[in-house]
Structure 1
Amino acid sequence: MQKLKKTYKFAIKTSLYLTMLLTLLLSVFLYYTNALSWLVLPFIVIFYILSFITIQYRVERFIYRRVKKIYDDLTLLEATTLRNQPITTDMATLTKEIDKYAKDKKLEIETLKVREEYRKEFLGNVSHELKTPLFTVQGYLLTLLDGAVEDKKIRTKYLNRANKGVERLIYIVKDLDMITKLEVGDLSLNKEVFDIVELIQSVFDLLEMKAAKKKITLTFDMDYPEPIMVHADRERIQQVLTNLIVNSIKYGREKGTTEVSIENLIKNKVIVRVTDNGEGIASEHIKRIFERFYRVDKSGSRKEGGSGLGLSIVKHIIEAHDERIYIESEVDVGSEFSFSMEKAE
């Protein structure tokens, strides 16, 4: 049996109280007047029914008007979840709906605040990253315009430095353009079957000189005599590996090691791990490490160069493959970045 609506309960109880009061008064009246007592019972029943109908109607109308105003007010706030539902006069249901709406709005406001903070920080970072090379280029060009252009030695030196500043600007803009395309899905992947072991070795060869400057060893965790075939965009995965290994060299310790391993994850997946024994990343930075321009060390990391977009690009490329990237790190112990890949059939 379904529970009675709250307004019905209110009407029933109120009618009962009124009927009891009237019965009491009527009994006193009949006691003193000796009127016809057989009329009392039908009168009480009729009075109770009429009281119930009147009270129920008035309560329904009162609540409906108040609730309709609430719904109308919320509609102005684009409360689509409420607007698409029929208006209810049940207080319990209404309370749940309003409570849910309030929680959703609170979450929405908090999300907007976080996004606003991220937007401000992002714009500040973009401004800083672009400002430094721009001012550098401008400084060299103004020096040349002020007369240094006549000195062939200085002219060549300053033009080369200005050119490096322009190259850095182009590098940042290209990375930003790539992230934008990855986010909106405009950058199509050219998937093919290739040997991931061979690709990692080619990245090692490419970065061998860079690693040698810090006496860092680039190595596999073991020998892989057989090829491990995967299905992905070879060029993009090479970019992922390059960014991860370059980062391990940048923040690795002198005479350290960067080790890459390939493991079977499940039947049709492998996981590639890039591990170093460098300075590591504090836990409070890990959740933001893939954000654009986010830097753990605001000063030192800028000296290392780069656009500050490498890890963000890595994350977007992996997610464009419908795969996941993971990070484990401990300060003064090292970091491990790992990502899954689809094995070729």
Structure 2
Amino acid sequence: MAKEFKRSYKFAFYTSLFVTLFMVTLLIIYQFAYLKIFNWQPIIIFGLGCYVFSFLIIQLRIEHFIYKRVKAVYDKVSLLESSSLEEKQITTDMATLTKEIEKFAKGKKLEIESLKVRENYRKEFMGNVSHELKTPLFTVQGYILTLLDGAANDKKIRDKYLERASKGVDRLIYIVRDLDMITKLETGDLHLYKEKFNIIELVEGLFDMLEMKASKKNISLTFDMDYEQEIIVFADKERIQQVVTNLIVNSIKYGKNGGTTEVSIENLIKNKIIVRITDNGEGIEQKNIPRLFERFYRVDKSGSRKEGGSGLGLSIVKHILEAHKEKIYVESDFGVGSEFSFTLEKVKKTA
């Protein structure tokens, strides 16, 4: 029976019992000493009334007392906002209270751990930004200082150094522009302008634009098959063009000489298609895949830097697709090749 009572009820039960026994004893003594009579009926009625009254008063006062103390504890340790404790009778079971405090303590612990992870990410990010900006800045500074020291008098050296300094400035602009885009995507300041367009035509245009870049490594840009019919999607055309461009450029960058970059488009479900960009390049080790879409994360620290780029391409791809509420997937076998795929909303054909 005791298990059915919460601890405060048990306390009120026994306290009320003691008070009732004491008061009944006084009544019996009073009957014998002063009235010279003994009548059980008034004693039983008095005892029951005294017990019920005592139990209710003691229980209510305990609840009120503990409510005030618990509320004060919550306020001081900031485990729970004061407003979350409603102005009503609450449980005074200390075991329940302990569980509740432990639950919020665990929540705060997880929050602290999350903040630590974010802090480490922020430090790593700031270090990466500093490093990425420092390299082209120092390059530009070095060429300009050399020109100021007298090299400008030699036309050949002057033209060569100015051209290299210009490339350094272009890289700086590229990094800052990509950072600005990611910031806008994350904060929601970059609005999408969705429209209907033919994804096949978009990819064909990118093949033409990137043909010269691919030819330097003798890489073929091709579809997996001849698409005779249009595939109309509903998305921000400019942003999706950027997504496909970044993925094809990456496949060229990490592709092998004489390799292939293949684009395929398949129906996924009724209103979705999946676009796949597959290459037979160097591939990605499994340990690198989870961090692939982080800002400035590079699989090959030296090789990718030689190829240029801001190190933000895949991060931008991920953010653009997330803004479209779409998904991106990666499959890769190291030494064999990689496949990046993403979903898009397909426009239903009208009769």
TM normalised by structure 2 equals: 0.83
> In the alignment, what sits opposite 2:125?
122
> In the alignment, what sits opposite 1:213?
216
Tell me the CA shift for residue 155 of structure 1.
Answer: 1.2
Alpha carbons of structure 1 residues 90 and 141: separation in structure 2 relative to 1, 3 Å: same
Tell me the CA shift for residue 265 of structure 1.
Answer: 1.2
1:64 and 2:67 matched: yes
285-294 or 264-273, larger mean C-alpha shift: 285-294
Tell me the CA shift for residue 104 of structure 1.
Answer: 2.3
Alpha carbons of structure 1 residues 142 and 182: separation in structure 2 relative to 1, 3 Å: same
> In the alignment, what sits opposite 1:32?
none
Alpha carbons of structure 1 residues 98 and 146: separation in structure 2 relative to 1, 3 Å: same
> In the alignment, what sits opposite 1:8?
9
**Separation (CA, whole Å) in 2 of partners of 1:89 and 1:182:** 45
**Separation (CA, whole Å) in 1 of partners of 2:242 and 2:60:** 72
**Separation (CA, whole Å) in 1 of partners of 2:329 and 2:10:** 57
TM normalised by structure 1 equals: 0.85
1:332 and 2:342 matched: no
**Separation (CA, whole Å) in 1 of partners of 2:246 and 2:154:** 40
1:105 and 2:108 matched: yes
Alpha carbons of structure 1 residues 175 and 12: separation in structure 2 relative to 1, 3 Å: same
Alignment of 1:275-286 (within 5 A): 275-286=278-289
CA deviation map 1:276-304 (0-9, x unaligned): 22222233332222122122223332222
Is the Cα contact below 8 Å between 1:325 and 1:337 reproduced in 2? Answer: yes
| Structure 1 residues not aligned, in runs of 5+ | 28-34
Is the Cα contact below 8 Å between 1:67 and 1:89 reproduced in 2? Answer: no
Please tell me the residue identity of whatever aligns with 1:90. T
> In the alignment, what sits opposite 2:308?
305
**Separation (CA, whole Å) in 2 of partners of 1:319 and 1:196:** 18
| Structure 2 residues not aligned, in runs of 5+ | 29-35
Aligned-residue RMSD, C-alpha: 3.1
> In the alignment, what sits opposite 2:33?
none
Query: How many pairs align?
Result: 334
**Separation (CA, whole Å) in 1 of partners of 2:168 and 2:280:** 32
Is the Cα contact below 8 Å between 1:71 and 1:83 reproduced in 2? Answer: no
**Separation (CA, whole Å) in 2 of partners of 1:22 and 1:332:** 91
CA deviation map 1:173-200 (0-9, x unaligned): 1111222222223323333322211211
> In the alignment, what sits opposite 1:30?
none
Tell me the CA shift for residue 207 of structure 1.
Answer: 1.7
CA deviation map 1:27-69 (0-9, x unaligned): 9xxxxxxx98766766765664565356435533542342132
Please tell me the residue identity of whatever aligns with 1:306. G
Tell me the CA shift for residue 250 of structure 1.
Answer: 1.2
Please tell me the residue identity of whatever aligns with 1:301. S
172-181 or 125-134, larger mean C-alpha shift: 172-181
1:84 and 2:84 matched: yes
Alignment of 1:231-270 (within 5 A): 231-270=234-273
> In the alignment, what sits opposite 1:273?
276
**Separation (CA, whole Å) in 2 of partners of 1:265 and 1:47:** 75
Secondary structure of the residue aligned to 1:198 is: helix
Tell me the CA shift for residue 20 of structure 1.
Answer: 7.9
